[in-house]
Amino acid sequence: MGSFWSTNITKFGQIFEAIAIFFAVLGVIFYLAGRVKGKFQRPLAILVLLGPALLLLIGGLVIPAIQTILFSFKDDTSSKFVGFKNYAWVATDPNIHSVLINTILWIAITPVLTTGLGLLLAIFLDRMKRESVPKALIFMPMAISFVGASVIWQFVYNYADPKQPQTGLLSTIVRHLGFTPSNWILTSPLNNFLLMAIFVWVQTGFAMVILSAAIKAVPADIVEASALDGASGFKLFRQITFPMVRSTFIVVFATMVVTSLKLFDIVRTMTGGNFGTNVISNEIYSQVFTKFNQGRGSALAIVLFLLVTPILVYNIRNIRRERSIA
Q: What is the pLDDT of residues 83-112, one digit of tens each?
A: 889 999 999 999 999 999 999 999 889 999
Residue 189: asked if its preceding bond is cis (omega within 30°), the reply is yes
Count of CB atoms situated within 10 Å of the CB of 244: 16
Give the separation between CA 59 and CA 29, rounded to whole angstroms. Answer: 20
Q: Which of 6-20, 35-49, 288-302 has the highest mean pLDDT?
A: 288-302
DSSP state of 128: S
3: confidence class by pLDDT, cuts 50, 70, 90? low
| Residue in 304, 306, 206, 315 with CA at minimum distance from that of residue 264 | 304
Q: Is the dihedral of CA 118, 124, 127, 131 positive or negative?
A: negative
Mean pLDDT over the full length of the chain: 84
Are 159 and 190 in contact by the 8 Å Cβ rule? The answer is no
Q: How far apart are CA 30 and CA 37, in angstroms?
A: 13
pLDDT tens string 209-245: 999 888 888 777 776 676 666 666 677 777 777 888 8
Q: Which residue has the higher pLDDT, 80 or 326?
A: 80
User: 147-151, 232-236, 279-283 — which is least confidently predicted?
Assistant: 232-236
- In this predicted structure, what is the pLDDT of residue 6? 66
Tell whether the model's pLDDT for residue 194 goes beyond 60: yes
Could you give the CA distance from residue 72 to residue 82 in angstroms, rounded to a whole number? 9
Rounded to whole angstroms, the Cα distance separating 167 from 162 reads 11
Q: Is 83 left (phi over 0), alpha (psi -120 to 50) or beta?
A: left
pLDDT band at 197 (very low <50, low <70, confident <90, very high): very high
Tell me how far apart the alpha carbons of residues 167 and 190 are, in angstroms, rounded to a whole number. 20
In this prediction, residue 8 carries a pLDDT of: 64
Q: Once rounded to an integer, what is the mean pLDDT over residues 54-73?
A: 87
